[in-house]
Structure 1
Amino acid sequence: MSFIERSKLLKFNFSKKKLALIGMVVLILVIGWISNAEIAEETAQKNIFLLLLLMFLSVSLVFKFESIPIKISLFLKISGILFSVITIFLGIEQLASVSTKTLLFENHTAVLYGCYFIIGITALFFAISGSIPISIMGTAVIGCVFGIVNYYLLALRERPLLPEDINGVSTLKNIIAQYHFYLDHDIYEFILLLLCIALLSQFLIIKFTYVRVKSLTRIICFIFAILVPTTIYGRWNVHGVPVSINHFNMKKSMEQNGSLVNFAAVAATSGAKKPSGYSVTQLKKLSKNYSSESIDSSQVEPDVVVILGESWSNLTASKKIRTNQPVLPNLDSIGNTDMTRSGRLLVNGFGGGTSRSEFELFTGTNALYRLSESPYQSYQNKHIPNLVSNFRDQGYDTTALHTERKENWNRDSAYGDFGFTKFKDVDYFKNQPNSARKGSFMSDSVLYDETLNILNESENPQFIFCITMQTHGDYSSSNYHSKIKINEPEGTYPLAEQYLGLMNDSDQSINAFLEKLSQRKRPTAVLMFGDHTPKVETEFLSAAFEKKGKTGYYETFYKIWSNYKLASVDNVNASILSTNYLGAYFCATANIPLTGYQKYLVENAKEYPVLSISKTMDSRHRSIEYSKLENTPIIKNQSKLQYNLIFDQKNQISKFFTK
């Protein structure tokens, strides 16, 4: 039989709509081939194979085969629906894989859960709309948004998209505005792939003979969609998680499970888990050993200034890094004297995580015990006694200063709950003198000028918290020219040079600020610390952290300055601390009365001064695997106290956490 005779039997109908779809598929194939030309051969072959398979199935389903029995046609359409939905899932994971430059799904079980999860999303769309094209397109839109946001979070923040980010849409929008974005070939390919699937969905319409059958199908899809999160939540909370979730390293967790399954798993297990052996009675008994102190009314309360230095890190401390001039001459000169303290600080974030760093400082809590990535969003409307509220309750005026928007990380809501009585953000500072920009953000100097104004104009004791922005990424401002030039390692590092130049400017600003404070008669104590390390060129960071390894990416520094004699904290090796101890150590050093909980933290710091996701260390700064400490009384009690502070509001031991 000739080709013409066979084509007549099959009755191909080449409409303009179908030809347009074929053209789109071929276009995607061509673009995919070109865009993968410079990618590793193995990855390129997988991408092209996927596109070829999609084109083959698309062309097969585009035509109306009137000679094909209805059952076979129905089978092909259902197969096309499943293929389209699963392709969306694989496209999301491929995009994440490209961003991390690693192959995902070390745990193969996660692939099945991912398919199950995204089919459930499509089923929900069909239950609502009753339309297969709308269901597939709706899934494609969600997949597109999820995939692209996840891609850029991995590129900029070294972590995947998490459920708590949904509450921080406004923050995410502001963060995006701070970076220069471009759509690379991977994003284009992903969008075109989803567009092709959306067009293909127009030819996957199943005609239901009876209305009742369609209604019943929609009901079944709705039940299935409800069962997806129910079974995931039930299985992963009651029977144990079938995939491994690394709460200490979400990027690694995503590499094991894929981005979509990791997102679902974190959502299913992010609720507070009561520690084993948790007992309020035992905690009350423990708290009696640490009574809270009160301020001596006969003494003048010191003014307190805490400065969170955005991305402050001493990258030039490594001998592998050489610059044309010292980057931090003034901050480096602050050592351990009668009126100053200095040390390294291990934080729980790299390239981001500011809100968690300040939360740990204020509350003495620790990310080791599954603390949220965005605690101000996750724990809003909770009564959590902390450093700020304790100062407020002792008669201090409490003020927060930030040269960006107060809505970021839900601070505008959380700070009031935390005890701040005033919060001045960028809307206030942009109208102030000396509000010029350094790099992409407002200069640190405007914060310090406002701090001095507050201190000099008020007779009440002050607690002021400054969040700087001058040294925030993405370090590609065309209006800033760095004085710092990198001599070693060899190479071109424009991001690192701009960062180091901004740090040098910050160093000069903080020195001028401290000189003015030194002229004050009233006792004044200042705590300065870096919230996380910056994200600059990978090669430069590798050289800077060659000896420290992974720990280097989580290491910043802290400085304590005062215009009066500081106290010595016996038996605490504070040359390196983790963030959860910093607030209590600062208060003890600055002769500020401690709460019972702060006393407890200082006591623990004597034995384990570093408890972080990157490293745990003993009093002699020897590294210890956290798994060997999990069942020690100190660690078990800390996790129980953290649960009591944040989650067990009804039985919270308030007197232990307050003055």
Structure 2
Amino acid sequence: MMRRKIVKKRIDSQMSKIPCKKVQAAILLVLVLFVNISALKSQMNENYIFSSGMLYQDNPDCKFTEEFTKCSDEMVQFFVPQKEKLEEIQIRFAINNPQDDDRSLKLKIQLCDSNEELLYEEEIGADSFEDWHEYVFSVRTKVNVGERYQLKFTQSGIKQGKNKVYMKCFIASESARENICYTFNGKKEEGNIELTYVYNYSNLTPFVYFLIFEGVLILLLLILKNSYNKYGEKINKKINAALWIVNVPAVFFLVQLIATESASVRKEYVWLNLLIYYVFFSWLAILFKKVKISIIIMDTCMLILALAEYFVMKFRGQAITLFDIVNIKTATTVAGSYNYDISLQVCIYILCFLFFIVLQLLFQKGEISENKRRTVRYLLWSGYSLILVIVGINLNNIGIFSELNLWDISSDYNEKGYIYTLLAEGHYMKVKRPKSYSIKNVEEIVDNLTSDKEEKTLIVPENIIVIMNESFANLEVINEIATEDSILQYIKSLDNVSKGYLYVPVFGGGTAETEYEVLTGNSKQFLPAGSSAYGFYTHDPEYGLTYTLRQQGYYSIALHPFDGTNWNRNVAYQKMQFDKFFCLENWEDKISCLRWCADDKSAYDKIIQQVEAKNKGERLFEFCVTMQNHGSYDKDSSGDFVPTVDLNYDKEYPLAETYFSAINVSDQELKRLLEYFKNLNETTMVVMFGDHQPAIEDEFYDELFGKKEENLTIEELEKKYMTPYIIWCNYLCETTEENMSSNYFGSYILQKAGLKMSLYEKSLLTIKETLPVINRGNVQDKNGQWFAIDENLPEDYKKILEQYETIQYNNIFDKTNLVAVMR
């Protein structure tokens, strides 16, 4: 009893310290100002595309300009721009001999102002043009609206004679509003050239609407305040109850809109989510006594959680799960590299959140008296316990609710509600023991999978260098990239290598999950999606690639030019039996940067340094995790880095251009590294692979696929989880080309190196022969056919997955009875 009184006094003491009205008003004013600035900034940074001119049609009655037949020919289009930022000029050409091999003709386009000052110039070979199709000139020049400009066309390399190439332009059937007239060799001609002008501009109209909406909310508060002054005292209890009741559904829908950009929660889950919210609100009311305080605390916490989800989805394209709490430190170490701009839409939702908080501050007077609190407390704790039980069990067993899809948790946040789904994830934090698990069963599975496995006699490399390159991906695996610049030119030119693609378990982030699969051979398919393997599932000793190599005399070094505690690597690497770990804390040498990240040059220099420092004849294994291509890719985090890749799409994708430019630097650094080992008089194998694809513009991925993500097939969606790998040797070795999921890759490296493997690693290679890809709830068989891992999966494949899950459980959780060891 005495303890309860002490706790009550402490709570009441804290309540008395709540800021006065002036402080509350100041805090709210700062928040509203912040939201307004964010809303304005979002519109200033929002690029709108405006096109003027008519896209061409294949009309046989088209009219043309004169042909360019002499190098002295000049055609000039005079025009007056409508917007300040002229991004592109699109023009169509007709070529009289489009199939002729001798296309030495070149076209020069020049943009000049009224004073003949050159603003833009580009020269293009005729082989870049397609007959009767438009060509896009990326002008990207600021112009003055209303001022007269000239677009000059001249050609060079024209050769007289039969079957030579001549070009001409189309006359517009409906001229763009910009066009004034055009001339050919100084003579004014009829009509105008068929051109399309594309502008990039900011539109502040939505921000004006935002201010109007804000004004309406303020006016509504004033009206309510005035009414409350007249009638509030008479109906005070009803107002308190109404504010409490209305706040919960309002917060529920606002959280959905911010965190998931959707409020399409299924009806049966709406009620469950609301119940959870009411229980939490009520529990806080009992704790703090005043309803106002409990609601404000809960609203603020839910707003912070929703915004965290919003930014995480924006940065890495994957939703927050309960497991992310373990890796909060990793998130904070890279948080400063991202841009925290908030969209206008989310600013509106935040404004609504603040509106409901102000309602509570102004009108909520409800309190829970001491004698009522005891009874209500027991009722609410019972209800709260009930909710935890409902959320914590597998509800599909009683036919009410379905299991969560942890490989696509965003869809569950949309359909089942954010708060319910987040809490329900707790059920998946513990890995279930397979139903058929027994040591005898594990032994039988391993014997069957390894009975006919013989290790080939190959040259064993003295040095094995494995590089996991941050965000390294060839997005042409999805579709051809529209650019005239080369991307990954060197790695594509390599032919005397084993190569292919890995299917990795993460996209846009979650580097350590791919790393875990490669280094251990354990598949995230049988561990909770979103969980941190390095945080939950590494034990001492952790068997895998490093352990197997150390058993065969390799000195093992891990390198990562960043914080060593990221993803718990400093602990996980010790359990994996690495002899040494170089990270930011003990790197010793100066680290150079590209954008905000340590560059590949620094990482590769360290790799070379360790090779040169070892004793002659000593076996060395180095595992390097790079940082150079880490997001974000916006201007704020890129410093003085200038992109070298230009994309040719109707819309701009600056993040993608920065990313492609950065991986081109990685491509050249890999060339430098391989040149070093080519001249090294020690047998060396170099392996490089990407951890995941980059979190760049969602619209760019839509552009590559030609459709939205929600419309992708399993096979198409899995392309977002493909990264390239190469295995290069400075000695004569067998080369192959095949794709696989990353859980097999460590065993595959050992096989290529001609080294001994554990029974577990041999078992994985046998499973790979039938199911080369196991990834994110899907499998691909040896015939290239994709299947979802559900009730429709063929029985043979179900059995193989059950075998894999069983031996993996033994490898991770039953090390005292470990079966698949080295022999």
Classify the TM-score, shorter chain: 0.7 to 0.9
Superposed CA deviations along residues 432-470 of structure 1, whole A, max 9, x for unmatched, are 24x221122111011111111111211332221111111
Indicate how the Cα distance of structure 1 residues 193 and 271 shifts in structure 2: closer, same or farther if over 3 A, else same. Answer: same
For residue 717 of structure 2, what is the aligned residue in structure 1?
550
For residue 346 of structure 1, what is the aligned residue in structure 2?
503
For residue 641 of structure 1, what is the aligned residue in structure 2?
807
Structure with greater proportional strand content: 2
Alignment partner for residue 87 of structure 1, among 250, 263, 269? 250
Indicate how the Cα distance of structure 1 residues 575 and 58 shifts in structure 2: closer, same or farther if over 3 A, else same. Answer: farther
Code of the aligned partner of 2:251:
I
Indicate how the Cα distance of structure 1 residues 221 and 319 shifts in structure 2: closer, same or farther if over 3 A, else same. Answer: closer
1:527 aligned counterpart, secondary structure: strand
- CA displacement at 1:295 relative to structure 2: 11
Code of the aligned partner of 1:369:
F
Q: How far, CA to CA, are the matches of 2:354 and 2:436 in structure 1?
A: 53
2:356 aligned counterpart, secondary structure: helix
Contact 1:291 1:656 in 2 (8 A): no
Q: How far, CA to CA, are the matches of 1:384 and 1:159 in structure 2?
A: 28
Indicate how the Cα distance of structure 1 residues 57 and 257 shifts in structure 2: closer, same or farther if over 3 A, else same. Answer: farther
Q: How far, CA to CA, are the matches of 2:782 and 2:455 in structure 1?
A: 30
Alignment partner for residue 473 of structure 2, among 307, 313, 316? 313
> In the alignment, is residue 242 of structure 1 matched against residue 401 of structure 2?
yes
Indicate how the Cα distance of structure 1 residues 298 and 120 shifts in structure 2: closer, same or farther if over 3 A, else same. Answer: same
Indicate how the Cα distance of structure 1 residues 285 and 38 shifts in structure 2: closer, same or farther if over 3 A, else same. Answer: farther
> In the alignment, is residue 484 of structure 1 matched against residue 645 of structure 2?
yes
Alignment partner for residue 578 of structure 1, among 717, 741, 745? 741
For residue 755 of structure 2, what is the aligned residue in structure 1?
592
> In the alignment, is residue 277 of structure 1 matched against residue 443 of structure 2?
no
Q: How far, CA to CA, are the matches of 2:674 and 2:353 in structure 1?
A: 56
Query: TM-score with structure 1 length normalisation?
Result: 0.83
For residue 783 of structure 2, what is the aligned residue in structure 1?
620
2:360 aligned counterpart, secondary structure: helix
Superposed CA deviations along residues 81-103 of structure 1, whole A, max 9, x for unmatched, are 132233222211111233xxxx3
1:317-328 alignment, distance < 5 Å: 320-328=480-488
Percent identity of equivalent pairs: 24
**More relative contact order, 1 or 2 (CA 8 Å, 6+ apart):** 1
Code of the aligned partner of 1:484:
V
For residue 447 of structure 1, what is the aligned residue in structure 2?
603
Q: How far, CA to CA, are the matches of 1:298 and 1:157 in structure 2?
A: 41
Indicate how the Cα distance of structure 1 residues 318 and 150 shifts in structure 2: closer, same or farther if over 3 A, else same. Answer: closer
1:17-28 alignment, distance < 5 Å: none
Superposed CA deviations along residues 267-323 of structure 1, whole A, max 9, x for unmatched, are 223321233433332112222343899999999663211111111111246663243
Unaligned runs of 5+ in 2: 1-20, 44-203, 708-714
Superposed CA deviations along residues 503-546 of structure 1, whole A, max 9, x for unmatched, are 11111101110111122232221211111111223343334345
CA RMSD of aligned residues (A): 3.8
1:171-250 alignment, distance < 5 Å: 171-202=330-361, 203-207=363-367, 211-234=370-393, 236=395, 239=398, 242-250=401-409
1:489-500 alignment, distance < 5 Å: 489-500=649-660
Unaligned runs of 5+ in 1: 1-15
Indicate how the Cα distance of structure 1 residues 539 and 146 shifts in structure 2: closer, same or farther if over 3 A, else same. Answer: closer
For residue 504 of structure 1, what is the aligned residue in structure 2?
664
Q: How far, CA to CA, are the matches of 1:389 and 1:64 in structure 2?
A: 77
1:464 aligned counterpart, secondary structure: strand
Indicate how the Cα distance of structure 1 residues 615 and 61 shifts in structure 2: closer, same or farther if over 3 A, else same. Answer: farther
Superposed CA deviations along residues 4-24 of structure 1, whole A, max 9, x for unmatched, are xxxxxxxxxxxx99x989x99
Code of the aligned partner of 1:519:
N
- CA displacement at 1:154 relative to structure 2: 1.3
Contact 1:105 1:255 in 2 (8 A): yes
Code of the aligned partner of 2:787:
I
Q: How far, CA to CA, are the matches of 2:444 and 2:342 in structure 1?
A: 58
Contact 1:291 1:595 in 2 (8 A): no
Contact 2:394 2:427 in 1 (8 A): no
Alignment partner for residue 437 of structure 1, among 593, 608, 614? 593
Indicate how the Cα distance of structure 1 residues 371 and 231 shifts in structure 2: closer, same or farther if over 3 A, else same. Answer: closer
- CA displacement at 1:73 relative to structure 2: 4.5
Code of the aligned partner of 1:334:
L
For residue 407 of structure 1, what is the aligned residue in structure 2?
565
Contact 1:313 1:532 in 2 (8 A): yes
Superposed CA deviations along residues 373-430 of structure 1, whole A, max 9, x for unmatched, are 222123255654221222234332222111221222222222222222322222344x
- CA displacement at 1:220 relative to structure 2: 3.3
Contact 2:217 2:355 in 1 (8 A): no
Contact 2:503 2:742 in 1 (8 A): yes
Contact 1:304 1:525 in 2 (8 A): yes
Q: How far, CA to CA, are the matches of 1:618 and 1:298 in structure 2?
A: 28
Q: How far, CA to CA, are the matches of 1:408 and 1:369 in structure 2?
A: 23
Superposed CA deviations along residues 19-46 of structure 1, whole A, max 9, x for unmatched, are 989x99xx99x9899999978xxx99xx
For residue 601 of structure 1, what is the aligned residue in structure 2?
764
> In the alignment, is residue 629 of structure 1 matched against residue 793 of structure 2?
yes
Indicate how the Cα distance of structure 1 residues 543 and 132 shifts in structure 2: closer, same or farther if over 3 A, else same. Answer: closer
Indicate how the Cα distance of structure 1 residues 133 and 517 shifts in structure 2: closer, same or farther if over 3 A, else same. Answer: same
For residue 9 of structure 1, what is the aligned residue in structure 2?
none
Code of the aligned partner of 2:793:
L
Indicate how the Cα distance of structure 1 residues 408 and 510 shifts in structure 2: closer, same or farther if over 3 A, else same. Answer: same
Which moves more between the two structures, 350-359 or 278-287? 278-287
Contact 2:544 2:576 in 1 (8 A): yes
1:500 aligned counterpart, secondary structure: helix
- CA displacement at 1:500 relative to structure 2: 1.2
Superposed CA deviations along residues 209-237 of structure 1, whole A, max 9, x for unmatched, are 6x322333334334433432233213648
> In the alignment, is residue 375 of structure 1 matched against residue 533 of structure 2?
yes
Code of the aligned partner of 1:310:
E
1:158-173 alignment, distance < 5 Å: 158-173=317-332
Q: How far, CA to CA, are the matches of 1:291 and 1:463 in structure 2?
A: 29
Indicate how the Cα distance of structure 1 residues 496 and 94 shifts in structure 2: closer, same or farther if over 3 A, else same. Answer: same
Code of the aligned partner of 1:177:
G
- CA displacement at 1:342 relative to structure 2: 0.7
Q: How far, CA to CA, are the matches of 1:510 and 1:388 in structure 2?
A: 23
Indicate how the Cα distance of structure 1 residues 617 and 214 shifts in structure 2: closer, same or farther if over 3 A, else same. Answer: closer
- CA displacement at 1:133 relative to structure 2: 2.1
1:426 aligned counterpart, secondary structure: coil
1:245 aligned counterpart, secondary structure: coil
Q: How far, CA to CA, are the matches of 2:385 and 2:407 in structure 1?
A: 30
Code of the aligned partner of 1:437:
C
For residue 620 of structure 2, what is the aligned residue in structure 1?
462
1:521 aligned counterpart, secondary structure: coil
- CA displacement at 1:490 relative to structure 2: 4.4
For residue 296 of structure 2, what is the aligned residue in structure 1?
137
Q: How far, CA to CA, are the matches of 1:369 and 1:550 in structure 2?
A: 20
Contact 1:292 1:594 in 2 (8 A): no
Rg (Cα) greater in structure: 2
For residue 123 of structure 2, what is the aligned residue in structure 1?
none
- CA displacement at 1:626 relative to structure 2: 3.4
Code of the aligned partner of 2:614:
S
- CA displacement at 1:240 relative to structure 2: 6.5
1:521-560 alignment, distance < 5 Å: 521-546=681-706, 549-560=716-727
Q: How far, CA to CA, are the matches of 2:662 and 2:316 in structure 1?
A: 20
Contact 1:293 1:596 in 2 (8 A): no
Q: How far, CA to CA, are the matches of 1:256 and 1:51 in structure 2?
A: 30
Q: How far, CA to CA, are the matches of 2:466 and 2:354 in structure 1?
A: 50
